Structure 1
Amino acid sequence: MKILSFEAKSHKKDLLTLFLRSRFAIVEETHDADEALDLVKFYDYDAILLHLSEDRMGELEIVRKLRLARVRAPLVAVTSSMNEAARLRVLQAGADDLIVDALSHEEIFIKVQNLIRRSRGFQDNALRLGAVEINMNAKKIYARGKPVTLTKKEYQIAEILALRKGVVLSKEAILDHLYGGLDEPNPKIIDVFICKIRKKLQSLGVDDFIETNWGRGYMVIDHRQDSGTETQHQAAPATAPLRAMA
């Protein structure tokens, strides 16, 4: 998952960012509100973390501006302490959640991850697509109930594609998610990663998890939904309109 972290004033390294990265999240940081607004226009984030403070409520304007920009990603405000009146202002401005005085970074991670998962259409605790299950808490993947041994980058690619099921991601877009524009290797490395993921899944009897959209990139489709759709179409009257082909 890819997260944008905004904090207007910071004089020390953000330990939360370090923790999120240790849990395989790709985190980009900015201390400038205008830069944050520019970034969300060009990049697809899974969540936006806003570090707010009760004594700097002027920063709350960024929440309103992000909402006006029609950002799809959940907006999560994080603060060490905040009175009730200030909390209400944050939520009224459009924040999807407000985390106050969390006991640990793990608590914030799980809350943000749950919001991301639900915003992408997954209601269960895991991402289930066909015979594949992605446990985002454990950062593990299972194929037909058996664990799949993936490297960090391979897992991140599988998770990124799963969270955007039905959407074609170009190799360049996947690279951006993995490296955030820093020291990016040749885009062909994505073909290598995809090939390795496929081979590991095929060894466990799954050969339809990642699909190639020639000339555009890669995508994941939930074949369980396809099966349900096909059944409905087969049962429909002959006069029913045909489904448009993708």
Structure 2
Amino acid sequence: MRVLVVEDEPQLSLRVEQALEMAGFAVDVAFDGEEAWFLGDTEPYDAVVLDLGLPRLDGVSVLRRWRESGRIMPVLVLTARSRWTEKAQAFDAGADDYLTKPFEMDEVVYRIRALIRRAAGHASPEIVCGPLRIDTGAARVWVDGQQVVLTAQEFRILSYLAHRMGRAVGRSELVEHVYDRDDDRDSNVIDVLIGRIRKKLKVEVLHTLRGQGWRLEPPSDG
């Protein structure tokens, strides 16, 4: 899953970025409203952490522009402003959740996970696909009750496919959502990682669709 962090305070931005990366997210960072608007309008983020008090273009204006252009990724607003009228402006502009500074880094992680999960139509942090059970909060995987150890990148791929279970996910889409801007986006590596995931799971839940990509779905009864 790929997240954009928009925060002009360098130390806070770094702390949020590190917390999200430790939780398994691919993270891009913007330090002003103009850069944030451009990235959010051109890159396929699964969620955004957005500060309101930004230079060049304020957070509410950034958010309103995204929504007006049809960008629907969930947005968690961070701000030092505590008055309800300012919170209402953010929600009116299209915010999905709100945190007032100071806050715990773990809370940012949990709220982002919940926003992504709900946007994909999952109420529970656990996603079940036949014998496969994925705990998206703890980043753990089980098959028939036995834990399967995945690397961070392998889990990121499996988690993205699980959030879109039953739907074909193309190569370019998968690459865009599991790598940040600074990663080497060699799409051929995806094939290697998919192969490793299959070998570790040992169940037929990850299907290749010729010319379309991959789909996660329960194995057929037959």
Give the TM-score range, shorter chain. 0.7 to 0.9
Q: Do the aligned partners of 2:48 and 2:76 also contact (CA within 8 Å) in 1?
A: yes
Higher-Rg member (1/2): 1
Q: What do residues 8-27 of structure 1 show as CA deviations (whole Å, max 9, x unaligned)?
A: x3344521111110111111
Greater relative contact order (CA < 8 Å, ≥ 6 in sequence): 2
Q: How does 1:63-102 map to 2 (within 5 A)?
A: 63-101=63-101
Q: Do the aligned partners of 1:54 and 1:86 also contact (CA within 8 Å) in 2?
A: no
Aligned to 2:200: 200
Task: Assess, with a 3 A threshold, how the Cα gap between structure 1 residues 58 and 184 changes in structure 2: closer, same or farther.
Answer: closer
Aligned to 1:233: none
Q: How does 1:54-133 map to 2 (within 5 A)?
A: 58-101=58-101, 103-133=103-133
Task: Assess, with a 3 A threshold, how the Cα gap between structure 1 residues 149 and 68 changes in structure 2: closer, same or farther.
Answer: same
C-alpha distance in 1, partners of 2:194/2:92?
A: 43
Task: Assess, with a 3 A threshold, how the Cα gap between structure 1 residues 97 and 146 changes in structure 2: closer, same or farther.
Answer: same
Q: What do residues 24-76 of structure 1 show as CA deviations (whole Å, max 9, x unaligned)?
A: 11111123434433433443221111112399994311111111122221111
Residue 215 of structure 1 deviates from its aligned partner by 2.3
Residue-pair matches, total? 220
Worse-superposed segment, 40-49 or 149-158: 40-49
Aligned to 2:212: 216
Aligned to 2:134: 134
Aligned to 2:9: 10
Worse-superposed segment, 52-61 or 176-185: 52-61
Task: Assess, with a 3 A threshold, how the Cα gap between structure 1 residues 185 and 94 changes in structure 2: closer, same or farther.
Answer: closer
**Structure 2 gap ranges (5+):** none
Q: What do residues 108-149 of structure 1 show as CA deviations (whole Å, max 9, x unaligned)?
A: 111111111011011112122222111112111111222111
| Equivalent position amino acid for 2:215 in 1 | M
C-alpha distance in 1, partners of 2:72/2:30?
A: 19
**Identical counterparts, % of pairs:** 27
Q: How does 1:15-54 map to 2 (within 5 A)?
A: 15-53=15-53
Q: Normalising by structure 1, what TM-score?
A: 0.79
Q: Do the aligned partners of 2:120 and 2:163 also contact (CA within 8 Å) in 1?
A: yes
Aligned to 1:154: 154
Task: Assess, with a 3 A threshold, how the Cα gap between structure 1 residues 61 and 151 changes in structure 2: closer, same or farther.
Answer: same
C-alpha distance in 2, partners of 1:110/1:185?
A: 27
Task: Assess, with a 3 A threshold, how the Cα gap between structure 1 residues 211 and 43 changes in structure 2: closer, same or farther.
Answer: farther
| Equivalent position amino acid for 2:154 in 1 | E
| Equivalent position amino acid for 2:141 in 1 | I
Residue 153 of structure 1 deviates from its aligned partner by 1.1
CA RMSD of aligned residues (A): 2.6
C-alpha distance in 2, partners of 1:220/1:145?
A: 19
C-alpha distance in 2, partners of 1:165/1:10?
A: 37
Residue 167 of structure 1 deviates from its aligned partner by 3.3
C-alpha distance in 1, partners of 2:210/2:55?
A: 52
SS in 2 for 1:63: helix
| Equivalent position amino acid for 2:114 in 1 | N
Q: Do the aligned partners of 2:74 and 2:115 also contact (CA within 8 Å) in 1?
A: yes
C-alpha distance in 2, partners of 1:70/1:101?
A: 28
| Equivalent position amino acid for 2:142 in 1 | Y
C-alpha distance in 2, partners of 1:185/1:47?
A: 20
